[in-house]
Structures are given as C-alpha cells and as structure tokens.
Amino acid sequence: MPPNILFIMTDNQPAELLGCYGNEEIHTPHLDRLAAQGIRFDNATCVNGMCSPCRASVLTGLMPSQHGIHTWLDDRLMDSWPPEWNGIAEFAALPELLRQNGYRTALIGKYHVGAPFAPQNGFEHWVTFPYGHTRSFWGNEIIENGRTHTYPGHSVDCFTEKAVEYIQHYDADAPFFLFLTYNAPYGHWPAIQGPGIGGLAAGGADGGDAGHFHGRSRFFSRAQWLLGARAGYLALQHARPGIQRTFADVPTGAYCPATNVQIDGEPD
C-alpha cells in the first residue's frame, strides 16, 4: 500500500526560526528530530512567501505567475465572493490527484485559498476556520465538516487534537493524505509568556507564537506508534519562509526589522 502522508505547514515561519537551521534562541527539539531523521533542504527557495500564494503553489505545484494568486486573499472582500469560490479551481490540486490514486484526503488548519465553508480542491475531511488571517489564537470559530463551533483554547491545540483524532480513527484500508496547516507562529501577535509558552528569549528573537507551536509537536511523537502501524508513513514539514525585513504593514519576520538608512554625506 502507498505510504500515508502527513504534510505539516506552518505560517510565516522563516527557516532561521528552527533549531535545525542554527537558531540558538528558540528551541524546537521535536522538529529538529524530524529534520535529523528525514530530509532537510538547505538550498531551497519560496517564490512568494505570502499566505495565499504559497499555499496555492504547494497545492498546485505552480508559481504565482502561473496560478494567478500574488498576495493574500483579503477577508474583507469575502462577502463579495461566490459561496464556493476557489482561487485555484481551474488547476488540478495535489489532493485531487491523490484521490484519483486511492488516497483519502483531509485538510486540518488554515486554508486561505478560497471560501472556507465547504471542502475544496479534492479534500474530503475538512477542519478550518472562517478567516484567512489570524485575528486571535484563542477562542476561534471552527468549521468542521459542515458544523460550526467555537474552540475555547489555542488554535494550535485545536488543529493538533483534530489531526491526532483523525489519525487515531482512520480506516487503514487506504492511505491518507493529511494537510495539517497551522496558523502559527504568524507575525501579528507577540509571544505571551504563560503555561506552555515559556522559554523564549526575552530579547532578540520575538518568534511570534513559535514556542506554542513547537511545544504541541510532541503530540505527534506520542501518536507515532499509530502512524507506524499503517502500511507506510511519510512526514513532510514545510516551514514557509515568510516575508522578512521588508517595508510592509505586517511584520512577518522572526526578528524586529532592521533597516540601515544613510542620513547624509558620502562614505570616506
């Protein structure tokens, strides 16, 4: 039987935010172990690290100049979209191709490529929230296979629990493709010291909510025996590089932006 595929995608996370790429301030031991036991890409690039273009590229295998999404989809325009609008509907998406080859498909997490209210792009199992942008990590409204409810805790915990639940109750007669798309660490919200988010550097790297995200990756270590019991297991961790150190309204880098500007005069 073909291998099961767990594709983990994080949001606005440059490679330098991971220990396996040399970060000594933010500790990511679980993801470092995945990198050590799997394949780490040291010479890869992302054509457009914005939320929507990057996700469209991952799902279609096309560059933004080909699939046509060049920036994030604005939630404020959602009311003007058709009810089931899909920004990449004209292309064959990865989950559609996998379904044609016997896979069961699931999206759990952030979508941000079209209307989020019903499954799109060949996904069968569908757990997301009604917005593309993260307005808060806490108390989010969740759309779960046509049912809407509010998850009182952290969204990373929600998506992790739903992913583990999906794996635990999965029918092993066919392989699965689980696209687990976290909305963390993101760039709007600072790291808040508290239960489960301790240990981040007080200065230097801000890191968004990286500590919380990496802390929750231990759930998959505990559930690994479930995956090992399947015919095969393939885990892909795709950390989106983000848009760093640019003149932008949204600070998506891991560090405070630093810009060198000449005041006056000429260099000696």
**Which residue of the set 112, 125, 212, 214 is catalytic?**
112
**Angle, CA of 226, 232 and 236, to the nearest 5°:** 90
Active site residue 188: no
DSSP-assigned beta bridge partners for residue 138? 154
Greatest pairwise CA separation for the chain in angstroms? 72
176-185 vs 233-239, strand pairing mode = unpaired
Peptide bond connecting 116 to the previous residue in cis, omega within 30 degrees of 0 = no
Q: If DSSP codes are grouped into helix, strand and coil, which group holds residue 153?
A: strand
Q: What is the DSSP letter of 109?
A: E
Peptide bond connecting 185 to the previous residue in cis, omega within 30 degrees of 0 = yes
Under 8 Å between Cβ of 52 and 132: yes
**Which residue of the set 27, 30, 46, 51 is catalytic?**
51
Active site residue 112: yes
Distance CA 152, CA 260 (A): 43
Catalytic residue set: 51, 112
